[in-house]
Amino acid sequence: MNSLARFSVNQMTVKQLSMPELVAACRETGVPGVGLWREPVRSYGLDATAKLVHDAGLAVTTLCRGGFLTAIDPGERRRALDDNRAAVDEAAVLGTDTLVLVSGGLPPGSKDLRGARERIADALGELGPYAASRGVRLAVEPLHPMYAADRCVVSTLAQALDLAERFPAEQVGVTVDTYHLWWDDTAPAQIARAGAGGRIHSFQLADWTTPLPEGVLNGRGQLGDGSVDFRVWRGLVEAAGYTGSIEVELFNEELWARDGREVLAETAARFVEHVEHVEHVVR
Amino acid sequence: MNSLARFSVNQMTVKQLSMPELVAACRETGVPGVGLWREPVRSYGLDATAKLVHDAGLAVTTLCRGGFLTAIDPGERRRALDDNRAAVDEAAVLGTDTLVLVSGGLPPGSKDLRGARERIADALGELGPYAASRGVRLAVEPLHPMYAADRCVVSTLAQALDLAERFPAEQVGVTVDTYHLWWDDTAPAQIARAGAGGRIHSFQLADWTTPLPEGVLNGRGQLGDGSVDFRVWRGLVEAAGYTGSIEVELFNEELWARDGREVLAETAARFVEHVEHVEHVVR
């Protein structure tokens, strides 16, 4: 099997590339899949993007992202739900079956994590059936606990599954991202739980490197530069039955400052070096 | 009861104060306890510090810190154990019964969190009896998962208890620090577990504020400035049987740039406002 057969590049990894440049670079490098983001898709045009990627034979592995479902204000809540339905529609046009959700942080002044998580559950109850009716699955992504206040109150895979399991797996599952979960000794058991329920809808990779930059958003490490043992994580999701694409999503100022095609080629090479040829790890 | 009766200021909160300035400011403000750090104690002199704080009638609630027990290299390991025995001796001289341990991160090049945690257990097996023989308890402090690689592979209270419970409670317990644990929905149950075993050896407070600064070390928020509901956390440790001091430990560049006495007075006032008068919270 082609060593890049499972590889997908998330568009954010090489955000310096325009949509046509991204597609051309994927073809040159032999990358079979891309994870897209709504903002650049909108800039290039939804239908134009769909045509561009499909004409190039690229699979769209995910659309990033919906979510931000924690608002208390009714008007804000309604706008968030409308926006998520629009994201589902865009995913369907792009031909991907997976919309990644970043759930949202605490509303201003609130200290109630549990209440925020319940509002996410309420929103998933509305959005899940809508998504499934369009052939799209929602993938709740736990983000690292350092984002709990301002970005995502869902911090662990257990919390994400506690939410997802209230709904059918074809409506709501989870995203497993090594950057967010690598530190958690309960994650292996939770990956098994997710796999048993058919809920691993996306598997994403980034390495953990330090020191973290100010704001802690754009310091996700290139594969092999940090503390994550990718073969172990790939082994875990595969032991749980996951056979889908493996998406590399790096937010990294240093990578963005370089030539995007070079970064894509490097990322593909790192994928082969650090992720392929999985060892069977007994834990 | 005096509303500051349980309050202790960790020395790092006002590190701009010299040891005599700190002691004088505590007396002026009516602060009954201090958590000390080894480096400033060494600078002022161990015996001199012990005399100074005791003559002032101040309780030393903790000594910070031992730990850094994850090295693989035998020489480094031996030096770490020696250093921790010295820290225990210093705690005994200062008259505190609690030495806080920050366990240490991954050794350079290692990706093996589990192995690092096992080496900590090995070290606790050596240090626990030594500490208990001198009337000192070790308090393993789980640090926020954002420090897992470079500072502390013990990221959750559950992990800390998994380590501590291998040993008698009078040898090894835990530190509960809101800054590190506030995001974790499993922490309430783990606090109950810690309390049932008599293992809450220290309770520390800091608020969670964003954006995080570069390196994520010195952005711990003043009480009331962030996302932590301190009354809930105080209620949790008290429901678990904790009746000891409540130490405020802030690492914060902005606070350090101000007049230390003013910061101490502000911190004491915030403590009364946000921590005292605990509501009985049903969770």
Share of chain A above pLDDT 90, in %: 96
Distance from CA of A44 to the nearest CA of B (A): 31
CB A194 within 8 A of CB B168: no
pTM of the model: 0.96
Residue B280 contacts A, CB cutoff 8 Å: no
CATH of the domain at B154: 3.20.20.150
The reply to whether residue B185 touches residue A159, judged by beta carbons under 8 angstroms, is yes
Q: Is residue A107 one of the residues assigned to a domain?
A: yes
State the DSSP string of B197-211: TT-EEEEEE-EE-SS
The pLDDT assigned to B2 comes to 79
Residue A282 has pLDDT above 80, yes or no: no
Q: Residues A82-106: pLDDT tens digits?
A: 999 999 999 999 999 999 999 999 9
With an 8 Å Cβ cutoff, is A108 touching chain B?
Answer: no
What pLDDT band is residue A277 in, cutting at 50, 70 and 90?
A: low
pLDDT confidence of A121, banded at 50, 70, 90?
very high
Query: Which H/E stretch holds residue B218?
Result: none
Tell me the residues of chain A between 20 and 79 that have a Cβ less than 8 Å away from chain B.
none
The predicted structure's pLDDT at residue A283? 43
Cross-chain residue pair A216–B215, CB shorter than 8 Å: no
Question: Which letter does DSSP use for residue A112 in this model?
Answer: -
pLDDT mean over A58-87? 98
Q: Mind listing the pLDDT tens digit for each residue in B71-110?
A: 999 999 999 999 999 999 999 999 999 999 999 999 999 9
Least confidently predicted of A1-15, A201-215, B152-166, B266-280? B266-280
ipTM, interface predicted TM-score of the complex: 0.95
Residue A281 predicted with pLDDT over 60: no
A283 located within any domain: no
Give the range of the structural domain holding residue B140, as residue numbers without chain letter.
7-274
pLDDT of residue A1: 55
Tell me how far CA of residue A185 lies from CA of A16, A181, A197, A216, in angstroms.
35, 9, 20, 22
**Which of A244, A252, A247 minimizes the C-alpha distance to A268?**
A247
% of chain A at pLDDT higher than 70 = 97
Residues 6+ apart with CB under 8 A from A19: A40, A41, A43, A44, A48, A49, A52
Coil, helix or strand at residue B262: helix
**For B77, what's the count of Cα atoms within 13 Å in the CB-facing half-sphere?**
14
DSSP B213: P
Q: Give A124 to chain B, closest Cα distance, Å.
A: 20
Q: Give dist(CA A269, CA A272) in Å, integer.
A: 5
Q: Which residue of B has its CA nearest to A154?
A: B183
**pLDDT, tens digit, for every residue of A217-276?**
999 999 999 999 999 999 999 999 999 999 999 999 999 999 999 999 999 999 999 998
Hunting for tokens 């990956």 — which residue is that?
A: A191
Alpha carbon distance A31, B215 (integer Å): 34
For residue A270, being part of any structural domain is answered with yes
Give the integer Cα–Cα distance in Å for A49 and A44: 6
Contact yes or no for A214 and B210 at CB 8 A: no
- Judged by CB atoms closer than 8 Å, whether chains meet at A111 and B229 is answered as yes
Distance CA A169, CA B238 (A): 40
- On whether residue A207 sits in a domain, the answer given is yes
- Amino acid B221: pLDDT: 98
How distant is the Cα of B124 from the closest Cα of chain A, in angstroms?
Answer: 20
pLDDT on residue A2? 80
Whether B279 contacts chain A with CB within 8 A: no
pLDDT digits (tens, 9 = 90+) for B109-123: 999 999 999 999 999
Written as one letter, the residue type at B107 is P
CA atoms of A83 and A39, how far apart (whole Å): 13
Question: What pLDDT sits at residue B277?
Answer: 66
Is A212–B106 a contact, with Cβ atoms under 8 angstroms apart? Answer: no
Q: Which of A204, A213, A194, A203 is nearest to A255 (CA)?
A: A213
Give Cα separations from A87 to A218, B175, B223 (angstroms).
24, 44, 39
Question: Tell me: the pLDDT tens digits for B16-61?
Answer: 999 999 999 999 999 999 999 999 999 999 999 999 999 999 999 9
Contact B191, B158 (CB under 8 A): no
Q: First CA to last CA across chain B, in angstroms?
A: 27
Which residues from chain B sit within 8 angstroms of residue A216, using beta carbons?
A: 146, 211-212, 216
Tell whether B54 is covered by a domain. Answer: yes
pLDDT exceeds 70 at position B283: no
Sign of CA dihedral A257, A262, A268, A271: negative
pLDDT score recorded for residue B62:
98
Query: What 3-state DSSP class applies to B183?
Result: coil
Q: Which residues of A touch B184 (CB under 8 A)?
A: 145, 155-156
Is residue B104, in this structure, part of any structural domain at all? yes
pLDDT of B281 reads 47
| Cα–Cα distance list, B123 to A77, B91, B94 (Å) | 51, 18, 23
Mean pLDDT of B253-275: 98
Whole-number pLDDT of residue A258: 98
Is A149 within a domain? yes
**Structurally, how many domains does chain B consist of?**
1
For residue A29, being part of any structural domain is answered with: yes
